[in-house]
Each structure stands twice: as structure tokens, then as C-alpha cells.
Amino acid sequence: MKKRNRKEEKSNIVSSSFRDPSGSLFFKEGRLLRSVNISYKEHYDMASGAGLFKSLVRDALLIPHEEVALAAEGNADTYKTLAPEKISFVSYPYEWCFGQFKDAALTTLEIQKRALSFGMVLKDASAFNIQFHNGRPIFIDTLSFERYEEGSPWIAYRQFCQHFLAPLALMSHKDQRLSQLFRIFLDGIPLNLASSLLPLRTYFSPALLGHIHMHARGQEKFSHQKFTPSLRMSLHGMRALIDNIEGAVRRLTIKSAGTEWGDYYGNTNYTEESFGRKKEVVSRFLRRTNSHIVWDLGANMGEFSRIASDMGIQTIALDNDIEAVEKNYGIVVQKKEKNLLPLLCDLTNPSPNVGWDNAERDSLSKRGPADTVLALALVHHLAITNNTPLAMVAAYLRTVCRNLIIEFVPKTDSQVKRLLATRKDIFPNYHEKAFEKEFEKYFTIVAKETVGAARCLYLMIKK
């Protein structure tokens, strides 16, 4: 089970589960459970009885759940308790590439359409309600459905625009890195901000003009006016609105600008033979670890991540190059890979604890530790590009894994020479002996093998 913070241990309620009065997530007997409150009974029974849950679960759009006879302590308001299928790794929108964002948006809209056909509606459209499970986006909030009232608007419209349409439009029309705004704006990117950042040409897209630019103006203009529910929106109007947003999302694309490390595999000093040997050594080391979850730090397009995922190990491929993550995700989708999740992560500034009380969304390390971390061709980037002392690299890595498969790349390597070509060498302690000395403070070196000219691969176990 994942590590929990002190407040969660005390209350058993998941710290991100406090907004929706329909129910909450809690831990009991080592399981993550969802309580359904009596106030939500009507909607739950409708979604369950009418077959909406069954339909969504069948098409892998909603996380499967079973009703269990456990209740949250001290909650007399519980109608049912659900045990949802476990998600192996929770990811957040600011860790997704464009393709993942787009698939998550389309999944949400598909669920909304499906709900409407069952006489129900999505009452929220938070991007945090989507997780990647078995390689595809899946909706995890079983209590997000309510009975559709003829004439009522889509309650989650603003949220969908802020959580999906605005970031996607910004990534598509401005810069992919703008997805990082989500780290600050956890309820989605404010539409007036998105509108001000988007280029003029987006005013010529009827959908973006309406859902972002006019929407932003509308919010500002009517912000001080009391909500007067005197308008009605027909079911046909609702479907037209969803159809239009869906079309807008589908039309959004990104142009590949060529990635910094995108051609890394064809640009190393590895010969085909030593590259194959490196793969063989990593594979052999990995088999010695008995891992269920592996994090590949600096995964690029996932060449080495796939050694783990092909063994049936849940593998998280983290990289700070958004284009590499995009390409990696493209391969996952194309090959229908179920065990690999590419995510955007800058290890020099990994996802922090954010949200209410800094406890709503977990930092990267809090979502660990991984059984095994792969840190291949990574240390020289941290030590030389980011000036991080080897002692700090070792101290950090011991917090995120139990086993470590790590590569040391010496100064004689062409990649390190490239890093040092335009700067002064201020790294007298960057050498193999110092590397081993620092890592042996926290790890036991159980195997060491040379690959390529002078690179070394290590298998280490945390002390």
C-alpha cells in the first residue's frame, strides 16, 4: 500500500477527498475504499440500476468496483461502501503530455455522452478524476454522476473548459510547456488567463472563441451577478454543446519541434553491440530484484523501461522532455501496452505536495518508493548539468527506491564531454570511486558490470 501522511493515518480519510458531499475515500484494513453517503443514494441506485456503471466498466471507461461490507469509522451517513480496483500509480495532469491530456478529455466527454443516454449527467469534470490504468485513461470517481434534469445546464461545463480545453488549447496553439500552469491552478487554468495567452488566430475558431474567449468575458461580466436559474438548456442543446467541445478537442494537435534527447538512442557512443549488452545487463539485474513497480528516471522514449514492462512489471517512465514523453505515449497507444506509463517529470524539480494543506496531491517521492529505480545515463545530467553533488543524488535516490539499477558515465564519455564542452569543469569529484563511495553510504553494491567503453552498470540494494 502506498505511503500515507500522518493526517490520513489519523483520520483514515484520503486527504484529497473532501469536496464532494456524495462520499469520500478512506483506508481500512489496508484497502482503499469509497463510502457512498445516504444523500447520494438516489443517484447511486440510478447509475447502478439503469446499467450506467456496467456499461462504462465494460468499455474500460470507469474503474470497476465491488460493494463491500466495510464502513468508514464514525460515519453514520454511509449508504454503501465500494472497493474500487487498485490503480498502480496515481498521476496528475501536470505530469501528462498532450496526447494523454487529449485522451483524458475525450474519455471525460465520452462518459458524459454515455451518462446522458442513461438519463444521467457528469456533475464534475475534474482532470484529477482521470487516471491511466492498463495503458488507457479511465474515470475513477464513481460518485460523479447524478440524475439529469431536463432543461438544466451542464454543471461541469466551466470545470471542463478550465481542466481540459484551456490547457489543451494552450499546448496546441502556444507551447506544450504551458501544461505546467496546472501545478499552480489546481482547479484548471483560469479562462481569462488562457484567453490572454492564446494567439489571435484562436478567435477564428468558433469553438475556442465560444468556450474560451467568450466564456472568459462572460465570467468577468457576470461575476458579481447572482445566479438566476431562469434559462433552460434542452437535452438537444446539451448534446450539441458536448459535440462541439468534442470536435474542438479532436481538432487540437501539436507540432513536433524535435526533442533535445529525442534522437538520443541514435546519438550515443554505444555501438549496436554494447547497446544490446546494456539491455541484457539491465534485464538480468532487474530479474534479480523481484519488482512489481519500476520507475525509469530519465526514460527518454522508454527503450529501457520496456525491458521492465515487457516482464509484466508496472513501469513508470519519467522524463523531463515533453516531446520524448509524447513519443513514448504514442508507442504505448500504438502497441496497446498495459504496463507502461510515460510521465513528464523534471527530477531537478519533481512534482511537490500541493493543494489544501499541501496534502491534496502527493509529491513524486510520496507516491513511492518504487521496488526498483532505473537511473540509466542520468547521473551525469544531475551532477554536471544541474551541479548536484553526487552525495545529494545518492541521498535522494535512496528515498524513492528499494533497489537501484544505475549507470555511471565517466568524464571520458562523449556525452559527458558534450556537457562540459561549453562550460568550466568544476567537478573534480565526479569519478567512479567518488560515485561508489557516496552511494555505498545508503546502498549495498551487489553487482557491477562494464558496458560500452567505460560506462558501468550497478545493481544496488538499499541498506
By the rule CB under 8 A, 200 interacts with another protein: no
Would you say 249 or 343 has its CB closer to another protein? Answer: 249
Q: 68: buried, middle or exposed (CB in 10 Å: 19+, 13-18, 0-12)?
A: middle
Applying CB under 8 A, the span of 92-100, 111-119, 239-247, 391-399 interacting with another protein comes to 239-247
By the rule CB under 8 A, 74 interacts with another protein: no
By the rule CB under 8 A, 353 interacts with another protein: no
- By CB under 8 A, the residues from 122 to 181 that bind another protein are 123-124, 149, 151-159, 161
By the rule CB under 8 A, 239 interacts with another protein: yes
Q: How far apart are the C-alpha atoms of 344 and 106, rounded to whole Å?
A: 20
Collect all residues with Cβ–Cβ distance below 8 Å to 428 and sequence separation of at least 6: none
Residues in the chain: 463
By the rule CB under 8 A, 222 interacts with another protein: yes
By the rule CB under 8 A, 226 interacts with another protein: yes
DSSP string, 241-286: HHHHHHHHHHH--------TTTTGGGSSS--HHHHHHHHHHHHHHH
Collect all residues with Cβ–Cβ distance below 8 Å to 321 and sequence separation of at least 6: 259, 260, 261, 262, 300
Which residue in 74, 218, 276, 312 binds another protein (CB under 8 A)?
Answer: 218
Q: How far apart are the C-alpha atoms of 273 and 141, rounded to whole Å?
A: 48
Least CB distance to another protein at residue 108 (A): 14
Applying CB under 8 A, the span of 48-56, 104-112, 210-218, 337-345 interacting with another protein comes to 210-218
- By CB under 8 A, the residues from 19 to 38 that bind another protein are 19-22
Cis upstream peptide for 190 (omega within 30°): no
Applying CB under 8 A, the span of 50-58, 97-105, 206-214, 310-318 interacting with another protein comes to 206-214
By the rule CB under 8 A, 42 interacts with another protein: no
By the rule CB under 8 A, 347 interacts with another protein: no
Q: Is the dihedral of CA 65, 68, 73, 78 positive or negative?
A: positive
Would you say 77 or 346 has its CB closer to another protein? Answer: 77
Collect all residues with Cβ–Cβ distance below 8 Å to 305 and sequence separation of at least 6: 294, 296, 299, 315, 317, 328, 340, 342, 374
Would you say 75 or 274 has its CB closer to another protein? Answer: 75
Q: How far apart are the C-alpha atoms of 375 and 295, rounded to whole Å?
A: 9
Q: Which residues bind another protein (CB under 8 A)?
A: 19-22, 123-124, 149, 151-159, 161, 210-211, 214-215, 217-223, 225-234, 236-241, 243-244
